[in-house]
Amino acid sequence: MRELGKLLSRTDAEHIASGLKAGESVGSALSSLAPAQKSRVNSIITSGGLREDRAGLTGAMYGIIGARSADATIDPLWTLPAHLATSSALTTSIVDLVDSAATSITCSTYNFQKSSGLWAALRSAARRPSVDVTVYVDRNATDGSSGPSAPEIAKRLAPARVHRTKKLHGNVTRNHAKFLVIDHRTVVITSANFSWSAEYNNVELGVRIDRPPLAEQIERDMRGLEENVYERVEPSRNGYS
């Protein structure tokens, strides 16, 4: 039960419970999960003897739904020059969250630099088969700047999905949303870009919010914007390593 709770968001559990109650097979009830996530959940269900115990599996889903409905925990995350933060350092906190991700990471930023602590952390996470990574960046900020271009970011983070802003009503939309969502439950919203200056030299403030409904809503909203605001970026042939 604990392993299922680590892998499934409230929305995941709601979909599975709804499918089971409607008489769907276990495989069909799991159809909304990402492939790697579905494989792990299938393995846990089988090894735990829940495949033949539909009532027990449905009960487990409702247990996850209840646990994910708990009140949010909100903590400030500061970044200050020379690591003078009096509470948790934003850079360290985000890297630790990315390193510990079990199923998914969704992140958005305006400016992305190789000097960012996220440059290595996101690459490592994207290469873990169980973790689904999606990144949103600003088109102008990744074209002709000193940092990597969007295609170079896509190559660096492959097989992650990388999206950049595109023209809307004749103008390129700016991507100023700066956040991470980890495992469909933990949200970090910050003033910091993913760059050395933001993470190590500026005064930046962020908040960490542990609330699955908020995390899932942000992810749904971003997916809803993809058709009109963002475009999928193909990896560069000569990008960063």
| Domain annotation covers residue 240 | no
Closest CA to 135 of 151, 115, 114, 117: 151
Strand partners, 89: 78
Helix locations, the chain, DSSP H: 2-7, 10-21, 26-29, 35-47, 54-68, 90-100, 117-126, 150-157, 196, 212-229
Give me the phi and psi of 130, to 5 degrees please.
Answer: -85, -10
Q: Are residues 125 and 222 in the same domain?
A: yes
Q: Are residues 88 and 204 in the same domain?
A: yes
Q: Are residues 54 and 11 in the same domain?
A: yes
Per-residue pLDDT reduced to its tens digit, 60-106: 999 988 887 766 678 888 777 765 655 555 556 788 889 989 999 99
Number of other residues whose CB lies within 10 A of the CB of residue 159: 11
Q: Which of 46, 68, 90 is the last residue of a domain?
A: 68
Q: Which domain holds residue 51?
A: 2-68
Q: Which of 68, 87, 122 is the last residue of a domain?
A: 68
**Prediction pTM value:** 0.70
Q: How confident is the model at residue 138, as a pLDDT?
A: 94
Per-residue pLDDT reduced to its tens digit, 172-224: 899 999 999 999 989 999 998 888 777 778 888 889 898 888 998 999 999 99
Determine the average pLDDT of the residues in 20-30. Answer: 93
Q: Which of 13-17, 37-41, 83-87 has the lowest mean pLDDT?
A: 83-87
SS3 track for 37-69: HHHHHHHHHHHCCCCCCHHHHHHHHHHHHHHHC
